[in-house]
Structure 1
Amino acid sequence: MTEVSYAVADGIATITLDAPDRRNALSVEMSRGLIDAARTAEADPEVGAVVVTGGAHFCAGAVREVLADVGRDPVEDAAYRNLETVYAAFTTIGTIDLPTIAAVRGAAVGAGLNLALSTDLRIVSRTARLLPGFAQIGLHPGGGHLSLLHRTAGRETAAAMGLFGEEVRGARAVELGLAWAVHEDEQVEQAARDVAARVAADPELARRLVRSFRRETAPGGLPWEVAVELERSPQMWSLRRKHG
């Protein structure tokens, strides 16, 4: 994983995008590294949470060559699969059986914004820049971008950003529900780890908890009485584990 670093401490797996020369734009290699790192965390029973970060520059989108190859021949097998791999980078992060947090400094653009929005929670810096960037380079959004915006912050924000290309920074992201907390640049990663530590302390419970969370908060939601029944089994499991 030459473009992605992976480390585990105190039950938290930290996945770091590591191509600062291009501001962590997602290449096919980096996307594969993200997928491998996410699956490695998921397979480790000692891991209870994942933090995704990019250092000073979160992610500047997909590398232009991947998009250009698809543009020249959208159904050519290699080009099609390469774009599919880029999509899989954030769909994998968003569906692994672990709570996930994005620690965002710098810009999260296009596919990079998709990556941030695919996590369960976001901690951002005051100087963070969240922007779609698709229409601004003449492209329709991809990777479920509009859906990710809508499920995270609602229709108005999805329209402002997805249709009209509005850029959102730091504290405003928290106001809109795009992020949970805002910190100074040098505090972002540690703040994300501090939040992750609460659930990472009990990896087995963390995994059961995140399954219920995602089922109950999926688009469309669940009726309350259905949610009560859905939570009954894992709660009984946790009670037996604690008191049995």
Structure 2
Amino acid sequence: MSAVLANAETIRFEVDAGVAVLTLNRPDRLNSFNDQMHAEVRAALEQVRLGRAEGAIRVLLITGAGRGFCAGQDLSDRSVAAGGEAPDLGASVEKNYKPLVMTLRALDLPVICAVNGVAAGAGANLALACDMVFAARSASFIQAFCKLGLIPDTGGTWILPRLLGPARAMGLALLGDKVSAEQAEAWGLIWKCVDDEALLPTVKALAAQLAQGPTFGYAQTKKAIWASSTQDFETQLNLERDMMRECGRSHDYREGVAAFMEKRAPQFKGN
């Protein structure tokens, strides 16, 4: 693999054969976010955006180092001295967590998450903001905000009801119960739960497969599915019409049809 952002201290970022791998790398803090990690993740996602525009990156895989995926915000960065002024948590959301999940949603390629351990608070909702989520069997998801008198951020109040329905979303948000990877799969919170030792091999194989696929069509599919939750049926049908028109003009569509007619494997370029 060729390393990118070699000077990063809180993440690892590597690109190989069209697959970018972003690893949260503060294992001693369960990969919890501080300001430096936010800045380095932003820089990595900008590399992904530029790499996609150049055709060098066609899939993003996000995972965590060590025994956890991400424990959310590093609270030591938000300590309040006795009698001191409370930090402006809304400013942190606006500066860091809001642009983080909006950038993931806007990337014109599949974003896959491999949850290798606990995903708590913003860490859980970061994972759920990805397009496909795999989790190790020992992993878990916790909406830990209620333990601190907070609300689920990083898109949690939007994502949870749409994935689980209001009853389960409300229960998880108010109680902060731990959800196992197997339960998360059964509820439709994630795509798949796999054995711990199979997690990265499984996800990397899928990423390699997607990196050879019709990336433009994947990006349009992603946009259409995300848009569907806020649009009426006719508006969504119109969006499908417009996106189908764009896909029909793509190189990948022409190559896919030609490969089918010629009974050969397609050679997609991602555009």
Do both proteins adopt the same fold according to a TM-score greater than 0.5, normalized to the shorter chain? yes
Q: Which residue of the other structure, out of 220, 226, 230, is the alignment partner of 2:230?
A: 220
How has the CA–CA distance of structure 1 residues 125 and 71 changed in structure 2, closer, same or farther, with 3 Å as cutoff? Answer: farther
- State the AA in 1 paired with 2:35: V
Larger RCO, structure (CA 8 Å, separation 6 or more): 1
TM-score, normalisation: structure 1: 0.87
Percent identity (aligned): 25
Equivalent residues in 2 for 1:37-52 (5 A)? 37-44=44-51, 45-52=55-62
Equivalent residues in 2 for 1:78-97 (5 A)? 80=91, 84-97=95-108
What is the aligned partner in structure 1 of residue 184 from structure 2?
A: 173
CA deviation after TM superposition for structure 1 residue 10, in Å: 2.3
- State the AA in 1 paired with 2:167: E
**Residues paired across the two proteins, number:** 239
Question: Residue 14 of structure 1 contacts residue 51 of structure 1 at CA under 8 Å; is this kept in 2?
Answer: yes
Q: Which residue of the other structure, out of 234, 239, 244, is the alignment partner of 1:232?
A: 244
CA deviation after TM superposition for structure 1 residue 234, in Å: 2.9
Equivalent residues in 2 for 1:1-244 (5 A)? 1-44=8-51, 45-55=55-65, 56-68=67-79, 72-74=86-88, 80=91, 84-202=95-213, 205-218=214-227, 219-221=229-231, 223=233, 225-238=237-250, 239-240=253-254, 242=256
Q: CA RMSD in A?
A: 2.5
Regions of 4+ moved over 6 Å: none
CA deviation after TM superposition for structure 1 residue 80, in Å: 2.7
1:107-153 Cα offsets, whole Å, 9 max, x none, are 10001011101100100011111001001122222233111212333
- Gaps of at least 5 residues in structure 2 are 1-7, 259-271
Give the distance between the partners of 1:98 and 1:39, measured in 2 at CA: 13
- Gaps of at least 5 residues in structure 1 are none
SS where residue 72 of structure 1 aligns? coil
Give the distance between the partners of 2:189 and 2:75, measured in 1 at CA: 26
Higher mean C-alpha deviation, range 229-238 or range 20-29:
229-238
Question: Residue 26 of structure 1 contacts residue 86 of structure 1 at CA under 8 Å; is this kept in 2?
Answer: no
CA deviation after TM superposition for structure 1 residue 208, in Å: 4.1
Question: Residue 90 of structure 1 contacts residue 118 of structure 1 at CA under 8 Å; is this kept in 2?
Answer: yes
